[in-house]
Amino acid sequence: MREVNVGHKYIADYQSIVPKDLMEEIRELAEPLRGKRVLHVNATAFGGGVAEILYTLVPLMTDVGLEAEWQVITAPPEFFNVTKGFHNGLQGHEFAVTQEVRELYESVLRSNAETLSHHYDFLLIHDPQPLAMRRFADVSADGDAHWVWRCHIDTSTPDQGLYDYLVPFIEQYDAAIYTMRGYAPAGLRVPIAEIAPCIDPLAPKNMALSPADAAYIVRQFGIDPDRPLLLQVSRFDPWKDPLGVVDVYRTVKASYPEVQLGLIGSMASDDPEGWEYLEKVIDYVGGDGDVFVLSNLDNVGSVEINAFQSHAAVIMQKSTREGFGLTVSEGLWKARPTIGGAVGGIPLQIQDGETGYLVHSAAECAARCIEVLDDPESAKVMALRGKEHVRRNFLTPRLLRDDLKLFNDLFEGKM
């Protein structure tokens, strides 16, 4: 495995942003955990929500007194083809667990588990890619370590054959974290914690950006800052429904001919399917000069995404299946009118008609976009309520608090 350098972050920097009682609770929960060693393991250091979370969470754990590390597994490309199939299968697609699949998956994670060379008090293993590491870890070496599987996707209706294969790995853990308790399949015999993800308000993607700076940046990508921009930021993945977003744009354009669309994604090393789907999206757009399909391949990084979100007239996350959808919190944090599919963890963030809009179809999404464009002042008031909802519930210090509480519960034998 390879260690990720996360630099330094300080919990005191969030003092003026999050509620005061939350900061006090973090300090109380961290005190009995001082010096405890924590290891986070996932599949990639860039290109996804888990990596974004860990770049902030790990150094904050260190700042409050734990010894926290983050490592990513090493694996050949064919391994990630398999685990992308796992990801889709856990969300309901059919997936055949062949003997070849088993041998590849288990051999890669056996070799990664063998590289664990230190004793840890808590190991958080993120998502299905490194799940089986617990099976192959040297139990005599890790002593009384507490193993936690952190599942970031909705696995409530998985492919049954795949689930039957993976559940014995899950049940070797001391606890499992799901964004929502309902995401865990029925009958799972492991203690479950319900912890939603969060965004970092001080990261380059979410820090305050002036309207002038945002307009300047989006202009560099050919977008006219004086015309309304519809925006979706997400991986190029069928579950995110970018083709449906294009349909929304085409409907809105009939009423607002000046409207533009931005589809921005990040190509991740653990998502080989994304490259194929990106081409599908480009083909579907069909050369429309008012649609901008961009990614990190076009030098779109965190600051650029911030600019697009800060500038957009409407932010969409039109998912058909969604574990949480960090981009929803990102849009709301920037006080932009936000519309999301009424699936997964999006309704945790959007209270329909209060902090944003929840939709069930492209037609409904287009109607809500037109409503926002017709009455931007009312939409702005709603978006400000959304920002406050995120401040209280979906910023990284709250995630740190919840993880610290879980560690204390495990350490004290309460799980």
> In this predicted structure, what is the pLDDT of residue 142?
58
Instruction: Sort 52 into a burial class: Cβ within 10 Å, 0-12 / 13-18 / 19+.
Output: buried
Distance of CA 363 to the CA centre of its chain: 26
Token look-up 């959808």 returns 325
Task: Give the model's pLDDT for residue 141.
Answer: 58
Buried b / exposed e over 273-304, threshold 16 CB at 10 Å, is bbeebbeebeeebeeeebbbbbbbeeebebbb
According to the model, what pLDDT value does residue 272 have?
A: 67
Where residue 200 falls (left for φ over 0; alpha for ψ -120 to 50; beta otherwise) is beta
Tens-digit pLDDT profile for residues 332-354: 999 999 999 999 999 999 999 99
What is the rounded average pLDDT of the residues 301-328? 95
For residue 198, give the nearest of 408, 415, 401 by alpha carbon.
Answer: 401
For residue 8, the tally of other CB atoms under 10 A from its CB is: 8
Cα distances from 215 to residues 5, 88, 105, 110, 377, in angstroms, run 32, 37, 46, 49, 20
Over 80: is that where the pLDDT of 271 sits?
A: no
**Residue 238: count of CB within 10 angstroms of its CB:** 15
Q: What domains lie within the chain, and their CATH numbers?
A: 2-198+395-411 (3.40.50.2000), 211-393 (3.40.50.2000)
What would the pLDDT profile of 382-413 be if each residue is shown by its tens digit? 999 999 999 999 999 999 999 999 999 999 88
**Tens digits of residue pLDDT in 126-172:** 999 999 999 998 765 556 899 999 999 999 889 999 999 999 999 99
Query: How high is the pLDDT of residue 355?
Result: 97
For the chain, state the CA radius of gyration: 21
Distance, in Å, from the CA atom of 182 to the CA atom of 151, rounded to the nearest integer, reads 12
The whole-angstrom separation of Cα 130 and Cα 370 is: 43
Q: What is the pLDDT of residue 46?
A: 78
* Number of other CB atoms surrounding residue 257 within 10 Å: 9
Q: Which DSSP string do the residues of 321-372 spell out, in sequence order?
A: S-S--HHHHHHHHTT--EEEESSTTHHHH--BTTTBEEESSHHHHHHHHHHH
The predicted structure's pLDDT at residue 415: 76
Q: How far apart are CA 274 and CA 237, in angstroms?
A: 6
* Distance, CA of 229 to CA of 312 (rounded, Å): 5
What integer pLDDT is reported at residue 144 of this predicted model? 84
Look over the chain and give the mean of its residue pLDDT values, rounded to a whole number.
94
Tokens for 376, please give them.
Answer: 């931007």
Distance CA(367)–CA(277), nearest Å, equals 26
Whole-number Å distance between alpha carbons of 411 and 408: 5
Per-residue model confidence as pLDDT tens digits over 208-267: 999 999 999 999 999 999 999 999 999 888 999 999 999 999 999 999 999 999 999 877
Give kind and range of the element (H or E) at residue 380: helix 376-393
* Residue-level pLDDT at 312: 98
pLDDT for 68 beyond 90: yes
Quote the DSSP letter at residue 409.
H
Cβ atoms of 209 and 307 within 8 Å: the answer is: yes
Asked if 205 and 350 touch (Cβ cutoff 8 Å), the reply is: no
Which of 186 and 73 is assigned the larger pLDDT? Answer: 73
Positive or negative torsion for Cα 300, 306, 307, 311: positive
H helical segments located in 126-257:
133-136, 139-142, 160-170, 211-219, 242-255
Residue 7 tokens, joined: 């630099």
Tell me which residue has tokens 């901008």: 292
